[in-house]
Amino acid sequence: MSSTVPLMEPQPEYTRLSHAGESRRVSLSQDDDNTAERAALKRHTAGRLESSKSKLYAVVALFIISLLSFVSQTELTSYLYNSLDYDQPYLLLVLTHSSWLFIWPTQVISIAIYKHIKRSRKHGYSFFDPYYIKRNFHDSIRNQHRNVYKTSGTIINEHYTQDFEFPHSISEFIMGKSMIHIIKCVFALTLILNTAGVTWYIAMAMAPASDITAIYNCSAFTALLFAVPILHERFTYVKLSAVGLAIAGVFFVAYGGDDDGTSGNDDFPDRVAGDMIIAIGAIMYGLYEVLYKKLVCPPLNAVSSRRLVAFSNFCASLIGLSTLSLGWMLVILADLMGWSKFHWIPSAYTWLIIIISVVCNLVFSLSFLSLMSLTSPVLSSVSSLVTIFIVGLVEWVLFGVNISFGQVIGDLFVIVGFGVLSYSYWAEITEEDVDDESDIDPTDTEA
pLDDT at residue 379 greater than cutoff 70? no
- Which of these ranges, 3-12, 284-293, 356-365, 418-427, has the smallest mean pLDDT? 3-12
pLDDT at 377: 67
If we measure between CA atoms, which residue out of 380, 356, 430 comes closest to residue 54? 430
pLDDT at 407: 78
pLDDT at residue 112 greater than cutoff 80? yes
User: CB-side exposure of 14: number of CA atoms within 13 Å?
Assistant: 5
pLDDT (average), residues 216-243: 82
DSSP secondary structure, 117-170, as one string: HHHHHHHT--TT-HHHHHHHHHHHHHHHHHHHHHHHHHHH-TTGGGG----SSH
User: Amino acid identity, residue 261?
Assistant: G
- Which of these ranges, 6-10, 77-81, 363-367, 429-433, has the smallest mean pLDDT? 6-10
pLDDT at 446: 43
What is the biggest distance separating any 2 CA atoms in the chain, rounded to whole angstroms? 132
pLDDT (average), residues 31-44: 50
pLDDT (average), residues 44-70: 69
Region class of 343: left (phi > 0), else alpha (psi between -120 and 50), else beta: beta
pLDDT (average), residues 59-75: 84
Q: What is the pLDDT of residues 414-431, one digit of tens each?
A: 778 777 777 776 655 555
Q: What is the pLDDT of residues 201-215, one digit of tens each?
A: 888 888 887 778 778
pLDDT at residue 41 greater than cutoff 50? no
pLDDT (average), residues 282-301: 88
Tell me what the pLDDT averaged over the chain comes to: 77
> Is residue 434 a contact partner of residue 300, using CB atoms and an 8 Å limit?
yes
Answer yes or no: pTM beyond 0.85: no
Query: pLDDT-based confidence at 345, cuts 50/70/90?
Result: confident
> Is residue 307 a contact partner of residue 376, using CB atoms and an 8 Å limit?
no
Contacts 24+ apart (CB under 8 A), 212-215: 212/74, 212/274, 212/278, 213/74, 213/387, 213/388, 213/391, 214/250, 214/251, 214/253, 214/254, 214/388, 214/410, 215/250, 215/254, 215/275, 215/278, 215/279, 215/282
pLDDT (average), residues 378-391: 69
pLDDT at 415: 77
pLDDT at 110: 92
Distances (CA, A) of 314 to 180, 349, 447: 14, 32, 29
What secondary structure letter does DSSP report for 437? G
176: helix, strand or coil: coil
Residue % of the chain over a pLDDT of 90 = 23
Query: pLDDT-based confidence at 3, cuts 50/70/90?
Result: very low
Query: pLDDT-based confidence at 346, cuts 50/70/90?
Result: confident
